[in-house]
Structure 1
Amino acid sequence: MTLPLPADAMVHALARRDFSVFLDLVFPTLNPGTPLARGWYLSAMVRALEDIADGSNRRLQITVPPRHLKSVMTTVAFPAWLLGRRPETRIICASYGQDLSAALSRNFRKVMNSAWYAQVFPETAGSIVRDTEADLATRQGGYRYATAVGGMVTGLGADLIIIDDLMKAQDATFPEARAKAQRFVDETLLSRLDDKRTGAIIAIQQRLHEDDVSAHLTVKGGFRHLDLPAIAIRDEIISLTHGRSHARRIGDVLNPARESREVLERIRAEMGGRAFEAQYQQNPTPTEGDYVRWDRIQFYDEPPERHALHKVVHSWDPAASTDPSADYSVGTVWGHDGASWLLLDVIRVRLAYADLLDRVRSERKRWRADVILVEKSSLGPALLEDLGRDMRCIGDPAHHAPSCMRLGADARLPKAERLYSSVERLYSGFAKLPREAPWLEALRREMLTFPNAKHDDQVDSVSQFLNWAIGRGGRNTLRGHARRDGPRPT
């Protein structure tokens, strides 16, 4: 006759194969006397991590608000569970600073050295041969190694890399800090995977900036993304453990027992809309920017044909580099329909000077432009010189454009002041944007995240045009006297 297992033994047996049960044992070890408040989102995170464990997924991003057990689950409990099941597993965990990395390591070692862990995974618990603040290793060759941005992992390989918040919230506005974190991912962490085919990467974080590590990894592609905003912004079905699912509806609060809608609104008021949208809503592009209110902008439905437009003006903000991380050369195309200036097109490219000149000329011909504005910086002076030759019919006849005036624009004000002084034109209907266009979303994101976006070239082109259009040059162009009365060519 087989006797039933004691309750503890049954739990331990379940914990060996079920990460959710294992987590139930981890939490009170780290938080004595505090029960684990289970929510459906924890089951969703467990399911995503179990897919990494069984090899059905190799790349995972989880974005979740602060204080939702992300580090305990992913950087403490999950490595302990993996090493228990396979003590030869090699894991590298990275965070933004050594203090955080060390604190997470201490919690991990507390789990690994607990009495119950020795009952759940006796082989692994009995095979620990190295136990330091940064490194716990087994005699089977497995380890969990902790590092931070800027730390060294030379000579170490990994089956799993866990990236847990590589930036502090207060550092996210600095391009240098974002670039440093991204370089650490590319040049230090990703190269550590022993087998690029089977090695896994987990990145768990809150969103901090449009150009943060999460965005950097998304651009690389291949990551499954479990996105858990505090307040749902879409209807979706989210997979849970044991074949279950959760239907989340727009407006649903992630954890109402801990952070109700009222609590979240108080947090929003205290920390500000932009920070709340990024860290709690996982949306670093809020519906309202610091300088632009998208809901106040005036829009038009269908662009007129070229023959119905009184004038067409191009506004160019050229850039000098073709490097993938460099600024873009941006041209915005504006047409006046008799009532308002309409934004008709946005050209956003990285081109060497000769190719950029060809593109400007082709757009001039395509739109039969009346005026081309060019910022007098970077490649601007050279571009103005060549376009001036075209206007005076000097050089190759194929490029002659006597009816198109080119004007140099001086950026006398700082970028923020230029936008702030011009954006009212979009609210009043003096200028309008299209309701639909393939380039509109990229423009919207840049305008709403300005001045914290990675790039601001579209903003510069738009504000350059709007400030010119309201002045004497723009007024004279509409009266048809730009050649005689407008700003002199430069």
Structure 2
Amino acid sequence: MALVRRKTPSIEISPQQLVEIDSPTADAIEREYCERRLINFLQRAWHVVEPKIPLSREGLWYMEAMCEHLEALYRSEILNLLINIPGRMGKSLTSVVFFPSWIWAIAPEFRFIFGSYSAYLSRRDSRQTRRVIQSSWYQRLWGDQFSLLGDQNQIERFDNNQSGYRIATSVGGLGTGEGASIIGVDDPHNIKQAESDTQREDALNWWDETMGDRLNNQRTGGKLIIAHRTHARDLSAHVLEQGGYTHLCLPMEYESDRSCFTKVRPRDAEVETKQEEDTGETLYCHDPREEEGQLMDPSRVGPPELERLQRSLGSYAWPARLQQRPSLREGGMIKLDWFPRYRVPLNHYDEIVQSWDTANKKGAQHAYSVCLTIGRTKGKDHLLHVFREKMNIPETQRTVKNMANTHWGPVSALLIENAASGVGIIQHLQADTTLPIIPANPTLDKETRMDIETPALEAGNLWLPEEAEWLPEFETEMRDFPSSRFMDQADALSQYLAWARQKVPTDWSMY
């Protein structure tokens, strides 16, 4: 099926000005405004489905990011789209209600099949779509483009007189027969089903086998998955492993090392870009947040609400459902029994190394600045001390200098991550001190960096004390990683382990 937009003149005028214009002209302007971009349509149609709940202006950025990717799917600029975003952020309304309604305003011949883990949810979204299309607002603007057929105007399926239709199904349904221009699933797993290997595999097989050949045109048709994460082996993980999906991933709290880049070009010309390592193609950033821990929409979920959500969901569920980084329930990446224990520190160490992970700002919502002090001798690495405080950059600079002369002697290597706040701290210390600064340049995400270093931990190369004031928090973060609330201690540890692994020893008798 050809993907053709109905051509209309481009008129730059805001919807607020429409009230000052006579009705026929105002309708033509509003129609052109809505057809131009899905986000425009969403803002104008919002009142139809949520007449009492205003659209959040603070959250408009992530809705626009979703809309830009959905538009690219409609234009066949991308063919497979995965969107991971927390629940209750308008993902269903945007993707399976407003999106098909907007396309029918432009190309009413399009055919859709949308599913969910629940037939109830699929029918709910189908009713909402029909509610938009049958509204007086929509009919006033596009009533002359198509009409719904009376003999196929049901909850599970409704057709229009231009050969388009929208079918609602559920995971496991739609055995044979129908195809579509775009197929999609909104939340393929519920929380309990995701914990069942059998039910989770059923959902994966349904997507691969039942829905896999439903596109009417395999060259131009689109596949859409939109969900919050539920399990480390859910459908999102499955298709990411298969490859070929554009992945828009927006966590509740901003994590700088997971900032989302895709091939879809945003309308904002000032957006940050980078080059894809394998192909050299330009990737565009879709998360405008800059501060670590910055929330998606503070008008809806601020720090107190987030804290309540985290307590309610628990340490296993909230990293998946809010941050889109699930872990396996049977344990994290690091096992506490990998760490041998020492009773008291040695009197002498051949080397004292400190590994710093520095934060940008001081505040309850920001990350900690962390320093691990490690004593090295004859192949044994003793973690001697963990410093962990929330500090601003000047405080961090002073603390790094003060801590460099330890109880066990001066440091022989001082590792500082050469990114974000660490860049300025390194420059300041190199200019003002003779400390043995070693800039560490991370190129991978937190989880991958630690994954590379886990063999050293599993081999028992890092010893922990039997008792220490800082030990419980360190053990908790290691046990829960990568689902920990904060991962600064883990970052500092993987940074040290990478340095130790790559270090060329000058005295081989130590090893």
- The TM-score by the shorter chain falls in which range? 0.5 to 0.7
Secondary structure of the 2:213 match is helix
Note the C-alpha offset of 1:218.
1.0
Relative distance call for 1:434 and 1:59 in structure 2 (3 A) is farther
Aligned residue in 1 for 2:96: 75
Q: Are the counterparts in 2 of residues 147 and 153 from structure 1 also a CA contact under 8 Å?
A: no
Q: Are the counterparts in 1 of residues 249 and 260 from structure 2 also a CA contact under 8 Å?
A: no
Distance in 2 (CA, whole Å) between partners of 1:191 and 1:89 is 17
Aligned residue in 2 for 1:47: 68
Note the C-alpha offset of 1:108.
0.9
Relative distance call for 1:127 and 1:267 in structure 2 (3 A) is closer
Question: How many residue pairs align between the two structures?
Answer: 313
Distance in 2 (CA, whole Å) between partners of 1:173 and 1:448 is 18
Aligned residue in 2 for 1:432: 460
Aligned residue in 2 for 1:167: 189
Aligned residue in 2 for 1:148: 170
Note the C-alpha offset of 1:123.
3.5
Report 1:36-115 matches (<5 A).
36-38=55-57, 39=59, 40-115=61-136
Q: Are the counterparts in 2 of residues 19 and 46 from structure 1 also a CA contact under 8 Å?
A: yes
**Which residue identity lines up with residue 99 of structure 2 in the other structure?**
F
Relative distance call for 1:430 and 1:56 in structure 2 (3 A) is closer
Q: Are the counterparts in 1 of residues 148 and 158 from structure 2 also a CA contact under 8 Å?
A: no
Aligned residue in 1 for 2:309: 267
Distance in 2 (CA, whole Å) between partners of 1:449 and 1:197 is 41
Deviations 1:428-482 (A, max 9, x none): x8952699xxxxxxxxxxx9699xxxxxxxxxxxxxxxxxxxxxxxxxxxxxxxx
Secondary structure of the 2:113 match is strand
Deviations 1:35-76 (A, max 9, x none): 111321111111111111222111111000010000011011
| TM-score normalised per structure 1 | 0.58
Distance in 1 (CA, whole Å) between partners of 2:462 and 2:173 is 48
Q: Which runs of 5+ in 2 are unaligned?
A: 1-19, 272-286, 341-377, 382-453, 464-478, 483-511
**Which residue identity lines up with residue 20 of structure 1 in the other structure?**
I
Aligned residue in 1 for 2:54: 35
Q: Are the counterparts in 2 of residues 113 and 125 from structure 1 also a CA contact under 8 Å?
A: no
Aligned residue in 2 for 1:157: 179
Distance in 1 (CA, whole Å) between partners of 2:304 and 2:266 is 27
Aligned residue in 2 for 1:205: 227
Relative distance call for 1:449 and 1:199 in structure 2 (3 A) is farther
2:37 corresponds to 1:22: no
Distance in 1 (CA, whole Å) between partners of 2:458 and 2:106 is 66
Distance in 2 (CA, whole Å) between partners of 1:143 and 1:244 is 39
Which is greater in Rg? 1
Note the C-alpha offset of 1:9.
4.4
Distance in 1 (CA, whole Å) between partners of 2:143 and 2:212 is 32
Q: Are the counterparts in 2 of residues 84 and 121 from structure 1 also a CA contact under 8 Å?
A: yes
Aligned residue in 1 for 2:356: none
Note the C-alpha offset of 1:260.
1.1
Distance in 2 (CA, whole Å) between partners of 1:433 and 1:156 is 59
Deviations 1:350-381 (A, max 9, x none): xxxxxxxxxxxxxxxxxxxxxxxxxxxxxxxx
Report 1:359-378 matches (<5 A).
none
Distance in 1 (CA, whole Å) between partners of 2:339 and 2:79 is 43
| TM-score normalised per structure 2 | 0.56
Specify which of 247, 271, 276 is matched with residue 288 of structure 2: 247
2:30 corresponds to 1:11: yes
Relative distance call for 1:117 and 1:244 in structure 2 (3 A) is farther
Distance in 2 (CA, whole Å) between partners of 1:49 and 1:338 is 54
Report 1:319-468 matches (<5 A).
431-432=459-460
Note the C-alpha offset of 1:89.
0.6
**Which residue identity lines up with residue 201 of structure 1 in the other structure?**
K
Distance in 1 (CA, whole Å) between partners of 2:145 and 2:231 is 40
Deviations 1:278-314 (A, max 9, x none): 100000128xx664583957679xxxxxxxxxxxxxx
Distance in 2 (CA, whole Å) between partners of 1:84 and 1:269 is 44
Between the two proteins, what is the percent identity of the paired residues? 32
Note the C-alpha offset of 1:12.
2.8
Relative distance call for 1:338 and 1:221 in structure 2 (3 A) is closer
Relative distance call for 1:283 and 1:265 in structure 2 (3 A) is same
Relative distance call for 1:283 and 1:118 in structure 2 (3 A) is same
**Which residue identity lines up with residue 294 of structure 1 in the other structure?**
I
Provide the aligned C-alpha RMSD in A: 3.2
Relative distance call for 1:433 and 1:48 in structure 2 (3 A) is farther
Distance in 1 (CA, whole Å) between partners of 2:227 and 2:458 is 42
Aligned residue in 2 for 1:138: 160
Distance in 2 (CA, whole Å) between partners of 1:189 and 1:210 is 22
Relative distance call for 1:157 and 1:145 in structure 2 (3 A) is same
Q: Are the counterparts in 1 of residues 147 and 161 from structure 2 also a CA contact under 8 Å?
A: no
Aligned residue in 2 for 1:218: 240
Note the C-alpha offset of 1:122.
2.3
2:262 corresponds to 1:234: no
Note the C-alpha offset of 1:82.
1.1
Aligned residue in 2 for 1:444: none
Q: Are the counterparts in 2 of residues 160 and 193 from structure 1 also a CA contact under 8 Å?
A: yes
Secondary structure of the 2:78 match is coil
Distance in 2 (CA, whole Å) between partners of 1:160 and 1:430 is 47
**Which residue identity lines up with residue 36 of structure 1 in the other structure?**
L
Distance in 2 (CA, whole Å) between partners of 1:204 and 1:115 is 29
Note the C-alpha offset of 1:247.
3.0
Relative distance call for 1:118 and 1:283 in structure 2 (3 A) is same
Note the C-alpha offset of 1:241.
3.8
